[in-house]
A and B are shown apart, each in its own frame.
Chain A
Amino acid sequence: MLSRPRRAGPMANGSQTLNMLRGFIILLVFQGIGEAAAHYGKVPIPGPVIGMVLLFLALTFRGSEMPIWLGQTGYFMIRWLALMFVPACVGLFFLPTSHVGQWLAIIGVIVLATLLTLTATACVMKHLLQPETKHR
C-alpha cells in the first residue's frame, strides 16, 4: 500500500523539479542536524546515521502520511547508492603497506569470517521466524 511512491501525475509535472528540491532540502536539513548532534554530542555515531534516526522518528510521529515528493527524492538517492560507494571501494587497492606480511590473514578473515557471519546469522533468523509459518 505504502510501498514505492507512484510517479507524480501530469498535474505535478510542472513542479517536479521543485519537488525534487524540496525533498533534497529535507534530507540535507536532517543530515545537518545529525552532523551537529555528532559534533556537539561527542558520540562515535556518524552524523548521517543520527540524521536517519531523527528523520525516521519525525516521519513516524508526524501522524499524517509521508509526502510523495519526499519518497521520490529518497528513492532516487537510494537507487544511486552503489555508485556513491565506488570511490570508497577504490581505496581497497591503495591500502597502507605497513601490514604487508599479514595479507593472507587479512584476506582470509574478510572472506571466511564474512561468509560465516552471513550463514550463521541467516540460519538463526530463519529459525526464529519459523513458528510464524509452522501452522500452514
Chain B
Amino acid sequence: MMAWISPASLLAVTFAAFTPAFYLYKISKVPPAIHPLLHPLVTAPLLVSGLLLLVDVDYSQYRQANSPLFFLLGTATVALAIPLHQQFHHIRKLVKPLLITLLFGASFAVISALSVAWLLGASIDTLISLTPKSVTTPIALGITEKIGGEPGLTAGVVVFTGVVGAAFGPILFRWLNITDDRIKGFVLGISAHAVGTARAFEISSRCGAFASLGLGLTGILTAALLPWVVTAFLR
C-alpha cells in the first residue's frame, strides 16, 4: 500500500517543477543554441516523474490530484476560439491550400505511423493503438475505443508525439527554411495537436491561431474517417 500524500502537495509538485523548467528554458533561449529538449514540456514532466518515483506515489494518485489542471485544459481549449476569430481574415483567404494541407497531413500522419510501425515489427494491436497519434488526446481516446486499440497506450503515444513535434518542429522549420508563421502553426497543429499548439503560441499569436485551426480540423477529420479506414484495412 502506498503512503497517503495530500492532493494539494501533488498539485504543488506540478507548479514547483514547472518553475525551474521554465527558467531553464528562458536562459537557454540564446538564438543559435539548439534547445528542443529543454522545453518545459520535456523537463517539467521528467522532474515530476522522478519525484513521484522517488517518494513512491503512483500516477493515478498524482493524476487525481491534478484534475483541476486537466479541467482548465478544456477551458483553455475553448479560449483558442479567440485567436482563431482574430486571425480569421487571414484564414479565409487560404481556404483551398489549408484544406489540401489538412487532408494530406492528417492522412500522412496515420500512414507514416502505420508503415514505420509495420517496418519495426509492431503487432496489430499496437498498430491500431498508434493510428490516432497526431490527434488531441480526448479525441484520440474516443477513436481508439471505437477501433479497438488500447487507451493507455494511445494516450501515451499521443502525448509523446506532441512533445516530439513541439520540441523538434521549430528546428525542422529552420532547416527547411520555413519562415512563414502560418505554415509553422498549421503544421504544428496538424502533426502535434494541442502540445504543438501551445508551442506555436510561443512563436506568435498568428502562428497559434493557425495551429488551433489545424488541431481542431485534424481532430474532427480523423474522428470521422479513421474508424472506417481501420475496419476496412486492419480488421
Instruction: Using CB atoms and an 8 Å cutoff, list the residues of chain A in contact with chain B.
Output: 2-4, 24, 27-28, 30-31, 34-35, 43-49, 51-56, 59-60, 66, 70-71, 73-75, 77-96, 98-99, 102, 104-126, 128-129
Interface size class of B (residues with CB under 8 A): 35 or more
The 4 closest A-B pairs by CB, nearest first: A46-B138, A94-B59, A44-B142, A128-B97
**Is the contact region of chain B dominated by helix, strand, or loop, or is it mixed?**
helix
**Is the contact region of chain A dominated by helix, strand, or loop, or is it mixed?**
helix
| Complex interface: chain A residues within 8 A of B150 (CB) | 96, 98-99
| Complex interface: chain A residues within 8 A of B109 (CB) | 113, 117
> Once the chains bind, are B117 and A105 in contact (CB under 8 Å)?
yes
Smallest Cβ distance from B156 to chain A, in angstroms? 4
> Once the chains bind, are B78 and A55 in contact (CB under 8 Å)?
yes
> Once the chains bind, are A124 and B168 in contact (CB under 8 Å)?
no
Instruction: Using CB atoms and an 8 Å cutoff, list the residues of chain B in contact with chain A.
Output: 14-15, 17-18, 39-41, 44-46, 48-49, 52-53, 58-59, 62-63, 66, 69-70, 72-86, 88, 94, 96-97, 100-101, 104-105, 108-109, 112-113, 116-117, 120-123, 126, 130, 133-134, 136-139, 142-143, 146, 150, 152-153, 155-157, 159-165, 168-169, 172-173, 176, 178, 180, 182-184, 186-188, 190-192, 194-195, 197-199, 201, 205-206, 208, 212, 216, 219-220, 223
Smallest Cβ distance from A92 to chain B, in angstroms? 5
